[in-house]
Amino acid sequence: MLDALRKSASGIVAKILIGLLVLSFAVWGVADIFTGYRGDDVAEVGETPITIQEYQAALQREIQQTSRQVGTYLTMDQARAIGLDQRVLGRMMAEAALDDEARARGLGVSDAVVAESIRQDPAFQTPGGQFDRTYFEQVLRSTGYNEAYFVAQQRKTLMRQMIAEAVGGGIEPPLVLEKAVDRYRNETRSAEYLVITPAMVDAVAEPTEEELRAYFNDNKSEFRAPEYRKVAMLAVNPADLAESLEIAEDDLRASFDADPDRFGTPERRAIERITFDTIDAAGQARREIEDGSTFEEVAEARGLSEDDRKLGTLTQDGILDPAIAEAAFDLDIGEVSDPVQGSFGPVLVRVTEIVPGVTRTFEDVREQIRSEMALRNAHDAVLDTYDAVEDDRAGGMTLSEIGQKQGLTYREIEGIDRDGRGMDGKRIRNLPDAPRLTTEIFSTDIGIEADPLQTADDGWVWFDVLDIVPGRDKTFEEAREDVAKAWTGEQTRDAVAAKAKEVADQIRAGTTFFEMAEELGTTSGLAGPLKRSGSDSDFGASAVQLMFTTPEGEVATTIAGDSGNRRLVFKVTEIDVPEFRPEQAEAYADELTNGISNDILGQYLTQLENRIGSTVNQQALRMALGESEIQ
């Protein structure tokens, strides 16, 4: 059971469960299951309630996680605007349905399985792939969990995976589907082609004034002058402050002395263990090893494979079971321990490899410590600067005056549009969090004290809109140069497209690509073999897709590469459908299995909902979201 769940936690079943929960809201819906009853539960699925406190905690964790991803803290209104409240409720109802089913069927997961699943979770492992209890505790704190609660949730998750495995596990895609996907992904096509360029058509004549005015009148929206805003700005971030911060040598030394081991690499050991039902059985196995049996033979007698024996190459702190950790780090290579009473049963332990630790001196890591401490202090300094600037703003000072007082660089931008470009059409450089900042600038007005923007690097930007130049339609005279360029470009594209059609017609009539290339003063090209996902400089993605819908021997035209000024004329010369080999299908078997399993689980959830029933307490939900009661 342990091995099955450990494999499922990092393989298909985990993907199934993730897909299940992602789709849970769509499966469950909410609007059609609201009722008006009162109570302390937001929802009830079967006999499993979802309390207001549970929902609020889950929603808050979701908001915090999303806030870290977008780089700014989301308010409840913002979270609801993007549907986080519905997503969390849908996920919790799907989980509650599975929990209810697990309880009804008497399913359970042992402590040993829970402990092993936590140890194998990559989220709690160091970059070297070893479990780190300190890091485990840090991750829990950062996500708002305590250990007891997390272990309980992990147990529920494993039970849900058991159901997911029972319902959607063991799926094998039908052979016909594997063949279809294999052909779709591995079929290749080749083509002979010509690229028609503007140089191959007659130069476009100079437009008349009437033609330009007519083009301008038909496309006025293309020649609008955008709205510009004049902006005053102050910015501060930890990285900039850290460069100027001095750290006392005594503080650097004290930081090193407080935990010198964190700068080195601790010793790691490759550990194997055999678990027994009783301490007497472990003792008997130890005596068999003393009498000449090997560790491997004892494990095989208990039906354990090599993978079952291996605990991993771990540090002493990375081993969840303290008794096993102590025994393993007292052994020499190849030595087998006496019976050890582990947390989850008696074991024999063996060490097969010792990777020595690496120690680094203070001099080796001095600059690393200085950078870490300076950056840490800089975060505090940024907060102090934030408070000082906010106090000065509250006192009526302008950003220019504040910048001079606080030693911050004051900047004025004469004009910026919504795309972050200046009045000269060039992108304005060195804007912190440019897209978000530009959005904020255009969401305020002159004379309004906008909230400062917290940047992705934990800095802050203050800005004031000083002036607004409204967007407007340009006059023909203002836009004449741009109109002439646009008109000429359109006429050129039309001429190239007409030439490409003419060339394609001649090739269909029997002219070869070589003959056509000589006439045009160019050379023909050969493309491929290309797969549907492939491309080259002339065959962009759209051209490749057209190639795969064009029969062999047929001629087609499309845009060449990513340029609308060049056209591609091609003929499919070869279609190669590779022979299906089952071993090749293994590369995407998991993907197919995952998709089919999710479909089956979706149907299962629908049936489960109909069978056990589900309700949502509208009034409790409003309370959980901080809304006032309905009058």
Q: Write out pLDDT tens, residues 220-279.
A: 888 888 999 999 999 888 877 776 667 777 766 776 767 666 676 788 899 998 988 889
Most confident by average pLDDT, 95-109, 126-140, 190-204, 601-615: 190-204
Considering the domain architecture, whether residues 292 and 425 belong to the same structural domain is answered as no
Q: Checking DSSP bridges between strand 188-196 and strand 563-576, what pairing results, if any?
A: antiparallel
Q: Where are the alpha helices (DSSP H) in 395-443?
A: 399-406, 434-441
Higher per-residue confidence, 376 vs 302: 302
What is the percent of the chain with per-residue pLDDT over 90, rounded to a whole number? 22
Cβ-proximal residues to 549 (8 Å cutoff; 6+ apart), any chain: none
Please state, in angstroms and rounded to a whole number, the distance separating the CA atoms of residues 29 and 86: 9
Considering the domain architecture, whether residues 197 and 237 belong to the same structural domain is answered as no
Considering the domain architecture, whether residues 489 and 567 belong to the same structural domain is answered as yes
pLDDT of res. 20: 43
Considering the domain architecture, whether residues 562 and 602 belong to the same structural domain is answered as no
Cβ-proximal residues to 205 (8 Å cutoff; 6+ apart), any chain: none
> pLDDT-derived band of residue 350, with 50, 70 and 90 as boundaries?
very high
583 is a domain residue: no
Considering the domain architecture, whether residues 11 and 115 belong to the same structural domain is answered as yes
180 is a domain residue: no
Asked if the model's pLDDT at residue 502 lies above 90, the reply is yes
- Name the amino acid, one letter, at 15: K
Higher per-residue confidence, 14 vs 461: 461
pLDDT of res. 231: 94
* Mean pLDDT, residues 40-69: 84
Considering the domain architecture, whether residues 322 and 379 belong to the same structural domain is answered as no
Considering the domain architecture, whether residues 158 and 67 belong to the same structural domain is answered as yes
260 is a domain residue: no
Q: What would the pLDDT profile of 550-602 be if each residue is shown by its tens digit?
A: 999 999 999 887 667 889 999 999 999 888 877 766 767 777 878 888 888 88
From first CA to last CA, the distance across the chain in angstroms is: 54
582 is a domain residue: no
Instruction: Give the domain-ending residue among 416, 441, 470.
Output: 470
Higher per-residue confidence, 544 vs 589: 544
Considering the domain architecture, whether residues 21 and 142 belong to the same structural domain is answered as yes
Q: Lowest mean pLDDT: which of 270-279, 385-394, 403-412, 453-462? A: 453-462
DSSP state of 451: P
Number of domains into which the chain is organized:
4
Asked if the model's pLDDT at residue 5 lies above 70, the reply is no
What is the percent of the chain with per-residue pLDDT over 70, rounded to a whole number? 87
pLDDT of res. 26: 43
Provide the phi-psi class of 528: left if phi over 0, else alpha when psi is between -120 and 50, else beta. Answer: left
Most confident by average pLDDT, 158-162, 206-210, 564-568, 615-619: 206-210
Say what angle helices 12-22 and 147-168 make with each other, to 10 degrees.
Answer: 100
Q: Lowest mean pLDDT: which of 185-194, 506-515, 517-526, 600-609? A: 600-609
Are the beta carbons of 471 and 215 closer than 8 angstroms? no
CA separation (Å) from 342 to 232, 320, 358? 65, 10, 29
Please state, in angstroms and rounded to a whole number, the distance separating the CA atoms of residues 349 and 325: 10
255 is a domain residue: no
pLDDT of res. 90: 85
The CATH number linked to 427 is 3.10.50
Considering the domain architecture, whether residues 516 and 567 belong to the same structural domain is answered as yes
Please state, in angstroms and rounded to a whole number, the distance separating the CA atoms of residues 228 and 442: 9
Considering the domain architecture, whether residues 483 and 534 belong to the same structural domain is answered as yes
Instruction: Note down the domain range covering 372.
Output: 227-246+366-470
Considering the domain architecture, whether residues 555 and 498 belong to the same structural domain is answered as yes
Instruction: Give the domain-ending residue among 470, 497, 524.
Output: 470
Most confident by average pLDDT, 55-64, 198-207, 312-321: 198-207
pLDDT of res. 37: 42
Asked if the model's pLDDT at residue 141 lies above 80, the reply is no
Are the beta carbons of 232 and 448 closer than 8 angstroms? no
The CATH number linked to 328 is 3.10.50.40
| Cβ atoms < 10 Å from Cβ of 81 | 11
> pLDDT-derived band of residue 151, with 50, 70 and 90 as boundaries?
confident
311 is a domain residue: yes
User: What mean pLDDT is reported for the chain?
Assistant: 81
Considering the domain architecture, whether residues 273 and 407 belong to the same structural domain is answered as no
Asked if the model's pLDDT at residue 35 lies above 60, the reply is no
> pLDDT-derived band of residue 62, with 50, 70 and 90 as boundaries?
confident
SS3 (DSSP) at 463: strand
pLDDT of res. 162: 81
